[in-house]
Structures are given as structure tokens and as C-alpha cells.
């Protein structure tokens, strides 16, 4: 019988970021299990904790051990897999174990909230024949008529119609109505109305499906990269692979990079696997998320569809994980624990002997390099399944437009093509990866740029509110009429955003119906679903948006894609800028020519000769990859090395440098096998009144130095006097601004 328990305390504190040993009182022996939440004493306080493992003995002084008070939840919160994952995540991401646990399990579930399964009231087969016999019970007759005319209804809908619980109980007793499980999808994200049968696979699709099927049959962990051009039919390969997985009695996880894609994906997957789908993403309410989580744990949902956090879905007997658009940066968590969903997915695949499929038309350099080195991992699809193939792309040199005195944000070619689309009643997509009206406001007399008072960035003009906003801290200021520096009056707006594009389109085509999708217009929970359906149904002619519209969407009526400014990401001070530019341009170009009408793409740029833009215009991933991988090789950047970033931030500039200098010095004493860069100011030096300084370790297989680094981090937190400077550690960051 186990007499002791190793427990992690439920407190976000470096001081208690270690397991504590407690005695299991006789009354609880045999009743507690690993993964359970329990009440424990910690000093004078009563705290919550989670049992990591049970012990028969302990090296801790028996007299110093204290008893567990009570069990907080009779069911273990964490499975054996999740407990093992917790330790790996804390090690990999240099975070506290409790941070890892909080990422793995939703807050509502940790707090013990369990949602009741939603259900609908539906008329039984006998109802229609019996309704005429209920003349003496008009309330019951009314309910049956509603259910027969309008279909199954939930309790809330019936309440609004004045139906009482007594009436429903009476009908249930008579066997005239019954309760049915209700789709768990949030309002605004309906499941497909009809089931969809598997499609006939093309030759390339069939080869890829057979390879994935063989991997599923092998009963060992495998990682496959499905490199298929836009509209090559990757989703159908995913769904048929999932079907094979389900038939073998296993479950599947499908991940998408943007919440905006979930309405479309729900429709596809629920149509194919009705009743088996659960959905997880950040726009769910706590009750909805808890309901989905519960359905997954209980095995009711065997296919999970979701964004980044869905990688922790508690699926039992996991057989297949699909990460669609695997190159997307949204799969990287920017707060502790700073995990990449791709890494967590591969850990889970190895643990469950499952298959991980990474899908993309523009794979990350890391994934593609790994697949090339092991050719058995690379699956390719080079042809489209649509009536037309990849669209022709025209690059417009905006420098030449200026030389010829054309100063609009739209080139003459784009204006002409847009006019043609509207005349023919087709649809167009205009992409610019910046929200707002203008990127910055500048005085043309002295060169003064209006900046945020708290951040080292320029303010973005939002014309609809007549305000300048900081997209980092939320600071707002009125638009100046005169220059604060020289009192000049030549205040001008530079670098267009989505709002400016919308404004210009309305001036050029006053009667056109358009939709703008960016983080300003999609703040409501159902905004993505609403805008997607409106545009899909042809209720708008032009869709204007940022990167959230650049991938995944399937709009057959879109015959023109205009990239208003291709240089937005290209000019970022980040070694991944060319890769992101190529990926965005290639993905957004793939939104057209998906129907019988065909389509074309126009890219506007001030850098027409850049290899990323040239390769995107040719839809040629290999040309881009060969150029970019050589650049990375020469600079020893990923995938030829790992990066470990230490970011220090504080309102006191001197303290930040002191803390960064001290920790960097400690690292230099214990690490000789890797290059240490810094400390140096981050590219965005001040955000929300916090000065930011970074040190970066660059080298191969940095996991090997994890123990030494963790010891330095622990010493930093225990420094006397303690440093007040915040330290964030990120393994292989995707953004180093």
C-alpha cells in the first residue's frame, strides 16, 4: 500500500516549482491516484495540488511530512499520458510544471466544473398519429405541433415559446417526445446538413493516402510531410485517412492554424463524420469548452478539430494527428509554456505509436529539411483537383508606378482587373497584412513620426474612429492637426492598412458590397463564421483582409487576388522574413482559380526582384527553398541550429541591462558548446513602458545543455537581492522582434 504522494502545488511561483512529498492518511489510502486534485497544507496555508505519483517510501524526514487534507475531485484530472507530457513540456519549454499543467487542462475543468450534455426535445414516431387525441391538453398539443413543424428544439427555445417543464414531462411519460443528444457546436458554427460521401481520389492523392494508410497499419510512430500545392485535395486525403483510423478503433486529431477556418472545416468534417466531432478553440465559452473536453474524455467524440490548444485534447487510443498548414506561426504559443504544437503533436504521436501528418503547400524549412533527409517522410501532390490549375501571377513594380506619376495604393493593372471582376459579377480578394488606415503618421516638414508614449513603435491611424492606436499596448491618441515637434501643417499618412484599402474601394465603387476581415472586425465570437458564410454565399463582391484570409478558404467564385503590399513582412528585422513573405504570397495566391472561371493574381511590391517574391509568383517552393536554405546554412540559423532566447523586460532600463548582463555572464561560465549572442536591445526595444533586452544561445542540439541552463535560471530567480526584471525563456522562438 502506498503511504506517500509526490504532489505539485497549484501556485504560479518559482519558489514552489518542485514536487513536494506528503503522507497519505489511512482514510485516503487506496482512494487516491496519480492525476487527482487534492487539498494540502503549505506552511500556514491550505492549497490545492495535483498528485504526480504515489510512493511506498520517501527520503524526506518522516517527521517533517504532513498529511493530505482531502480529495478535491473523486476522478483523476490527468491521465497517465498527460502526467508524462507535463514533465516533458516543463523540461522542453523551460517553464514551471504548473504552467505546463494549466496549458494541458482547461481552467473550467481544473476548477471542477462539469457541463451537462446538451440535448434536444424531439417528437417520436407515434407523435403525429397521437396529436389529434390531445384536444383536452392544448399545451401538449402545441409542443408536438412545434416539434413536428420545426424539428427538434432545445430547452431554451421551448422556454421562449412558453412551454413548461410539466408539459414536457407529461409528453415524455406518454412516449410522444424524447431527448436526443444535441450537437455541441457553438451557435453560428452549424454542422453540415447532409452527410458527404468520400470522393474519388486522383492518382497523387491515392498514393499519399496509401502511404498514410500503411503508416497507420504499422502500429509505430511515424511523421509524414504532405507537401501539396493549394487546392491539390489535401483535405480529402486527411478525411479518408481519418476514416481508416476510426475503422481500426482509434481516434484522430485535426489542427488548423486560424479560428477563421473552423466554420469551413466543421462543415466538411461533420458532413463526413456526423456525431463524432468535437471542436476546441479560444472563441468557445468556458461552458462550451468544458462540454467539448468532457465529450472527448468520455469517448463520445473520436475526432477533434481545433486550433493550437487542441493538441492537448484528451483523446484515448490516439491513432492519427493532422496539422494542416503546418508552417503557420500561430501554432507557436507566445506565453509560458512557449510550446510549438508541432513538437507536442510529435511527442504524442511517439507516446501513442500514432501517425503525425504535417500538411502544407509551403512547408516550414525545418519540416521540409527533415523530410528531405528521410525521403520516406515526404509525400507530394503537384496537381490541382479543381477545374483550373495554378493561376498566373503578375508582379507590379510600384516604383515604376510612382515614376509614371500614379500615386494610388492600387496599381493601374489592379484597378483595371478589379473593374472587370465587378462588371462580370465575380468576386475578388484584396490582401494586405496590416490593419488600420495607415501604418504611421509623419510630418513632411521635419520628419517627425507620431509614436506611442509607452512603446518604441509608431502609432497606426484608424480613420473610422479618428484615432491613432498602438497595436501593442492599446494606447490611443487623437490625430494631430499640426506637428508636435515643429508645428508644421504637412501631416501625411503613410503605408496603407486594411481600413485604408476599404475606404479607397468605397470611393472607387460606391455601390459595391464588401467585407473586411482583420482583428478589428472579428472581435465578436461568431464574426469569422458570419463573414465566411456571407462571402461564400455571394453576398459580397470583395473580401479585404489580413493573413487570416490568406489560407485554407475555398471560394470558387474568386477570380482575382490582389496583394496590395507584398513588402509588409519582407522588411521585418527577422531572419525568417523571406520565408514568411513567400508563404503568405503563395497561400493567398492559392485562393483563386479554384472554380471553372479560373483566376489571376496581382502582386504589388517595391522589391520585385527579391527571390521570395519571384518564387511565389512562379508557385515554385523548391526554387525558394534552395535559395533560403543556403542562406540559413551560411548563417547557421535553423534548421542548422537551435535557438534559445532569454528576454528581459522592466520599466527600469538600467535594471534590465544589469539583470541581462549578470545572467549572460553565468551562461558563459557553464556553456562552451554553443554561441552566446548578447545581451542586446530587442528590435522592439520598448513595449508597454517595458524596456526589452535579449540574449540568444545558438547551437546544435541545445536540449543537451538544458540542465545547465535550468540551473542558471534557478540561480537567477534566487538571486539576492532578487531581480525584479521579468525573464521569459523561449526555445526555438519563431519571432525575435
Q: pLDDT value at position 599?
A: 93
Nearest residue to 709 (alpha-carbon basis) of 193, 717, 170, 77: 717
The structural architecture, per CATH, of the domain 4-80+93-110 is: 3-Layer(aba) Sandwich (3.40)
Series of mean pLDDT values for 10-residue runs along the chain (737 residues): 93 93 94 96 95 93 91 92 97 96 91 70 86 85 88 84 88 86 50 66 96 96 96 94 96 88 78 88 83 89 94 96 95 95 98 98 96 89 88 94 90 96 95 67 71 73 73 77 84 73 93 90 79 89 89 84 88 85 93 88 93 96 97 93 96 95 96 92 88 94 92 92 92 89
CA dihedral angle for residue 407, residue 412, residue 414, residue 420, rounded to 10 degrees:
140
CA 116, CA 129: separation in Å to the nearest integer?
Answer: 32
What whole-number distance in Å separates Cα of residue 640 and Cα of residue 621?
Answer: 19
Q: Give residues with Cβ within 8 angstroms of 61, minimum separation 6.
A: none
Determine whether domain 642-731 maps to CATH 3.40.50.300.
no
**CA 13/CA 551 separation, integer angstroms:** 40
Helix (H, G, I), strand (E, B) or coil at 269: helix
Query: What are the grid coordinates assigned to 171, written together?
Result: 409528453
Burial class (CB in 10 A: 0-12, 13-18, 19+), 677: middle
- The pLDDT value given to residue 363: 97
Which CATH architecture is the domain 393-435+497-632 placed in? 3-Layer(aba) Sandwich (3.40)
* Cα 435 to Cα 501: distance, rounded to the nearest angstrom: 10
Let me know if 195 is exposed, middle or buried by CB neighbors in 10 A (0-12, 13-18, 19+). Answer: exposed
What pLDDT is stored for residue 54 in this prediction?
96
Distance of alpha carbon 326 from alpha carbon 723, whole angstroms: 38
Instruction: Return all residues near 37 (Cβ < 8 A) that are at least 6 apart.
Output: 10, 48, 49, 50, 71, 72, 73, 77, 110, 112
Q: Using an 8 Å Cβ cutoff, are 209 and 233 in contact? A: no
Its pTM stands at 0.85
Tell me the CATH number of domain 203-261+269-381, given options 3.40.1000.10, 3.40.50.300, 3.40.50.1970, 3.90.105.10. Answer: 3.40.50.300
Q: So what's the pLDDT on residue 260?
A: 65
Amino acid at each position: 500500500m502506498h503511504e506517500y504522494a509526490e504532489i505539485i502545488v497549484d501556485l504560479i511561483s518559482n519558489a514552489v516549482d518542485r514536487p513536494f512529498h506528503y503522507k497519505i492518511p489511512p482514510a485516503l489510502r487506496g482512494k487516491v491516484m496519480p492525476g487527482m486534485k487534492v487539498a494540502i497544507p503549505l506552511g500556514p496555508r491550505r492549497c490545492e495540488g495535483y498528485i504526480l505519483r504515489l510512493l511506498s517510501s520517501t527520503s524526506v524526514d518522516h517527521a517533517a511530512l504532513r498529511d493530505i487534507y482531502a480529495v478535491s475531485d473523486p476522478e483523476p484530472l490527468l491521465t497517465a499520458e498527460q502526467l508524462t507530457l507535463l514533465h516533458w513540456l516543463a523540461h522542453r519549454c523551460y517553464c514551471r510544471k504548473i504552467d505546463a499543467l494549466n496549458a494541458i487542462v482547461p481552467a473550467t475543468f481544473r476548477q471542477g466544473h462539469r457541463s451537462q450534455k446538451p440535448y434536444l426535445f424531439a417528437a417520436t414516431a407515434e407523435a403525429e398519429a397521437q396529436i389529434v387525441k390531445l384536444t383536452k391538453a392544448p399545451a401538449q398539443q402545441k409542443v408536438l405541433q412545434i416539434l413536428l413543424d420545426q424539428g427538434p428544439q432545445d430547452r431554451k427555445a421551448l422556454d421562449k415559446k412558453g412551454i413548461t417543464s410539466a408539459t414536457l414531462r407529461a409528453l415524455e411519460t406518454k412516449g410522444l417526445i424524447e431527448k436526443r443528444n444535441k450537437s455541441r457546436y457553438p451557435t453560428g458554427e452549424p454542422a453540415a446538413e447532409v452527410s458527404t460521401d468520400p470522393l474519388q481520389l486522383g492518382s497523387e492523392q491515392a498514393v499519399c493516402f496509401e502511404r498514410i494508410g500503411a503508416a497507420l497499419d504499422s502500429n509505430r510512430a511515424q511523421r509524414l510531410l504532405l507537401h501539396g500545392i493549394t487546392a491539390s485535395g489535401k483535405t480529402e486525403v486527411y478525411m479518408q485517412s481519418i476514416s481508416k483510423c476510426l475503422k481500426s478503433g482509434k481516434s484522430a486529431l485535426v489542427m488548423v492554424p486560424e479560428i477563421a477556418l473552423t466554420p469551413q472545416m466543421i462543415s466538411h468534417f461533420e458532413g463526413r463524420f456526423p456525431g463524432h466531432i468535437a471542436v476546441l478553440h479560444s472563441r468557445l465559452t468556458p461552458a462550451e469548452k468544458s462540454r467539448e473536453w468532457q465529450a472527448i474524455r468520455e469517448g463520445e467524440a473520436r475526432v477533434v478539430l481545433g486550433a493550437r490548444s487542441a493538441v492537448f485534447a484528451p483523446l484515448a487510443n490516439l491513432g492519427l494527428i493532422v496539422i494542416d498548414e503546418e508552417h503557420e506561426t500561430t501554432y507557436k504559443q507566445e506565453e509560458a509554456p512557449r510550446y510549438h504544437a508541432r513538437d507536442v503533436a510529435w511527442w504524442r504521436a511517439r507516446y501513442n505509436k500514432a501517425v503525425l501528418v504535417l500538411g502544407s503547400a509551403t512547408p516550414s524549412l525545418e519540416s521540409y529539411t527533415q523530410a528531405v533527409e528521410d525521403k520516406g517522410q515526404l509525400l507530394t501532390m503537384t496537381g490541382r483537383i479543381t477545374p483550373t490549375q495554378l493561376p498566373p501571377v503578375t508582379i507590379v513594380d510600384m516604383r515604376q508606378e510612382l515614376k509614371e506619376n500614379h500615386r494610388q495604393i492600387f496599381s493601374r493593372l489592379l484597378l483595371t482587373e478589379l473593374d472587370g471582376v465587378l462588371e462580370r459579377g465575380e468576386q475578388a480578394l484584396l490582401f494586405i497584412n496590416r490593419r488600420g488606415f495607415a501604418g504611421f503618421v509623419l510630418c513632411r516638414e521635419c520628419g517627425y513620426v507620431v509614436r506611442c508614449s509607452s512603446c518604441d513603435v509608431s502609432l497606426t491611424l484608424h480613420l473610422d474612429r479618428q484615432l491613432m492606436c498602438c497595436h501593442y499596448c492599446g494606447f490611443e491618441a487623437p490625430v494631430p492637426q499640426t506637428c508636435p515637434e515643429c508645428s508644421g501643417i504637412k501631416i501625411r499618412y503613410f503605408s496603407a492598412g486594411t481600413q485604408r484599402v476599404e475606404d479607397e474601394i468605397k470611393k472607387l465603387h460606391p455601390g459595391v458590397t464588401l467585407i473586411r476581415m482583420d482583428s478589428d472586425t472579428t472581435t465578436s465570437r461568431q464574426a469569422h463564421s458570419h463573414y465566411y458564410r456571407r462571402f461564400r454565399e455571394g453576398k459580397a463582391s470583395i473580401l479585404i483582409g489580413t493573413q487570416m484570409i490568406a489560407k485554407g478558404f475555398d471560394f470558387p467564385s474568386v477570380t482575382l487576388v490582389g496583394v496590395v503590399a507584398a513588402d509588409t513582412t519582407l522588411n521585418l528585422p527577422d531572419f525568417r522574413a523571406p520565408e514568411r513573405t513567400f508563404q503568405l504570397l503563395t497561400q493567398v495566391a492559392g485562393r483563386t482559380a479554384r472554380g471553372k472561371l479560373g483566376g489571376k493574381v496581382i502582386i504589388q511590391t517595391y522589391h520585385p526582384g527579391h527571390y521570395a517574391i519571384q518564387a511565389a509568383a512562379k508557385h515554385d517552393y523548391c526554387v525558394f527553398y534552395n535559395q533560403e536554405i543556403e542562406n540559413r546554412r551560411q548563417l547557421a540559423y535553423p534548421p542548422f541550429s537551435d535557438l534559445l532566447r532569454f528576454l528581459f523586460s522592466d520599466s527600469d532600463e538600467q535594471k534590465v541591462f544589469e539583470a541581462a548582463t549578470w545572467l549572460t555572464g553565468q551562461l558563459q561560465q557553464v556553456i562552451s558548446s554553443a554561441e552566446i549572442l548578447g545581451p542586446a536591445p530587442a528590435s522592439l526595444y520598448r513595449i508597454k513602458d517595458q524596456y526589452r533586452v535579449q540574449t540568444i544561445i545558438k547551437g546544435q542540439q541545445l536540449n543537451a545543455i538544458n540542465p545547465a541552463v535550468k540551473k542558471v535560471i534557478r540561480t537567477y530567480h534566487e538571486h539576492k537581492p532578487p531581480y525584479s526584471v521579468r525573464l521569459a525563456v523561449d526555445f526555438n522562438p519563431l519571432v525575435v522582434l
